[in-house]
A and B are shown apart, each in its own frame.
Chain A
C-alpha cells in the first residue's frame, strides 16, 4: 500500500461504495419532455452517512429511484462498488417513506423481515429466523415478531421496515424521506435510531430528506440539491462530533452555522430568480 492510499483512507475516502456520475433524468419525450435531474455526480464512502437535501419537487425521489435501480436514468451511470447499476442490485436495501404500504399486511412482522432473506443462498430457515430476530431487536422491537404491521404504530412500522433492510445486510442503506410521515417525537427517536445503526453496524447510509435540520443532524456530508433541472449545488461536510444527541448537538453554534449555510444554498436560486 502506498503512502498516498493510506492518506486518502485516513481522510475517510478510498474507493466509493456507491457513486453517481453525470446522472440525468428526463420524463417524456419531444415537446412534453421535462428534465428533472441534470448532471448529478457524487460518491458515498464506506461507513458514512450522506444526506441528500433539496426543496420539494426537486426530484429527490426520482434520484433515489435511479440510484436503487428501480428506474433507468436517461443519462450518466450509477455504480455500486464495481458494478454498474441497471436493475436493483443485491447490495442495496431501500426504506420507503410510506411504511404502511411498503410492509405486507398479510404477513407477521417477522415474516416481513424474513421475506427478502428467502433468496439468500446458504441461509437455513433457522438462520433466517435468527437474523430477523436480531434485526428486530436492534431497532427496539423485541417480542413484536408475531404481530401484524397494522397492529403497530406508524413509528414502529417504520422500524420494521428498517429491520427488514438491516437483516438483508446491504452494502448501502437507501432511505427515501423515511421519517416524513411520523409525528415529531417519533421522528426524533427514529433519527437517533439511525445514528445507532450507523455506529453498531458501521452501515453506509444514503438518506433523502427535505428537512434541513434532519440532514445536518444525521449526516457526515450533506449533498444540497437545487435549480431546475436539479443539480448538486454543494456538498457540505458536517464535522459535528459523535455521539450526537437531539438536545446538545442541535444547540451548538456549529450546528446552527451548518443549518444556516445549507438553508442559504437551497434558498439562493429562488432569490435570484
Chain B
C-alpha cells in the first residue's frame, strides 16, 4: 500500500509541470489566428488523426526502424566491445580509429548510407545503427576493462569456462556502464529516426513532419513534433525501467558499501 502511495506521489511530482505547461499552451493558443502557431486543440485533434489513420503507414515504420537499428547497435556494440575490452592487443591499435568514427555525427553518415543501401528501409536502419553503435561499444570496452582484478583472479583460479566467464562474470560486471551507453544510444537513435526520414523518404513520422511543414499544414507539423517528443519520453521511461530491474544488484551493493555493514 505504501509502495503504491509512494509511486503515485513520484508520478504526481513528475507530471504537474507538463500538465501546467500544456494547460498554459492550451489557454494561450486558443483562438490564435497565426499560421505558424495554431491553437493547441487543433494540433491535438490532428495528432489523434495521425495516430488513427497513419499509424501503420508512418508511425509503425519509424518505430520499427528505431527498434531494429538500436538492436543491431546494442548486439554489435556489446559483442565487439567485449572482444576489444578483453584483448588489449586489438583495442590499442584500433582506439584512434574508433574515436574518429565515434566523432562523426550520425547524421553525416546519411549520404554514405544512401548510396550504399539506396533509399529504402535498410538505409534508415543502417543510419540509426551506425549512430547508436558507438556509445554502446565504447562504454562496453570501458566496462570490460575495469572489471575488478580480484574478480578476474577468482575466475582464473576456479578455471571458469570461457562462456561462463563472459556471460556470468564479465557481462554483468560491465553492465552498469553498458546500460548507460545504451541510454545515450537511445536518445541518439531518436534523433536519427527523424534525420533518416528527412531525406529521400516517403514514410515515417519525420517524413510527415517535414512534408506538412512544406505544405504549410502547421497543425500536422506540430502534431508530428509532439508525437516525437512523447515517443522519446516513453522510450526513455522504458529504458529507465530496464535499468532499474537489471541493475538492482548494483544499487544494492553500492548502497551497502556506502552505508557500511561490517
Task: Enumerate chain A interface residues (CB-CB to B < 8 A).
Answer: 68-70, 88, 90, 92-94, 96, 98, 100-102, 104-107, 115-116, 118-119, 148-151, 153-154, 164, 168, 182-183
Contact = CB atoms under 8 A, between A and B. Distances in A.
Contact of A119 (B156, B160, B173, B253): B160
Nearest to B158: A116
B194 to A, nearest CB: 36
Contacts of B262: 153-154, 182-183
Given A101-B151, A154-B261, A88 B157 contact: yes
A148 B160 contact: no
Contact of B154 (A102, A119, A149, A153): A102
Interface in B91-121: none
B159 interface: yes
B161 interface: yes
Given A116-B159, A148-B253, 7 more contacts: A88-B157, A88-B158, A92-B157, A102-B150, A105-B250, A116-B158, A168-B158
Interface stretch (B10-18, B133-141, B164-172, B179-187): B164-172
Contacts of A183: 262
26 contacts: A69-B157, A88-B157, A88-B159, A90-B159, A92-B157, A94-B157, A100-B257, A101-B148, A101-B150, A102-B154, A104-B172, A106-B249, A107-B172, A115-B160, A115-B164, A118-B161, A118-B164, A119-B161, A148-B249, A148-B253, A150-B249, A150-B253, A151-B252, A153-B261, A154-B261, A168-B158
B151 A104 contact: yes
A264 to B, nearest CB: 34
B252 to A, nearest CB: 5
A93 B158 contact: yes
Nearest to A92: B157
Contacts of A168: 158
Given A96-B150, A106-B173, A119 B250 contact: no
Nearest to A68: B157
Contacts of A106: 172-173, 175, 249-250
A270 B150 CA distance: 33
A102 B71 CA distance: 33
A104 B252 CA distance: 13
* CB-CB nearest 5 A-B residue pairs: A116-B158, A105-B253, A106-B172, A150-B253, A150-B256
B151 A102 contact: yes
A102 B160 CA distance: 14
Contacts of A104: 151, 168-169, 172-173
Contacts of B261: 153-154
Contacts of B256: 150-151
B249 A105 contact: yes
Contacts of B172: 104, 106-107
Nearest to A165: B158
Nearest to B259: A150
A102 B150 CA distance: 6
Contacts of A119: 159-161, 164
Given A68-B157, A93-B158, A102-B150, A107 B250 contact: no
A182 B173 CA distance: 25
B252 A148 contact: yes
Given A107-B168, A183-B262, A70 B156 contact: yes
B244 to A, nearest CB: 15
Contact of A116 (B148, B160, B250): B160
Interface string B198-209: 000000000000
Contact of B150 (A98, A148, A151, A154): A98
A101 B257 CA distance: 11
Nearest to B153: A70
B252 A150 contact: yes
Contacts of A154: 261-262
A164 B155 CA distance: 12
A68 B150 CA distance: 14
A254 B153 CA distance: 39
Nearest to A100: B257
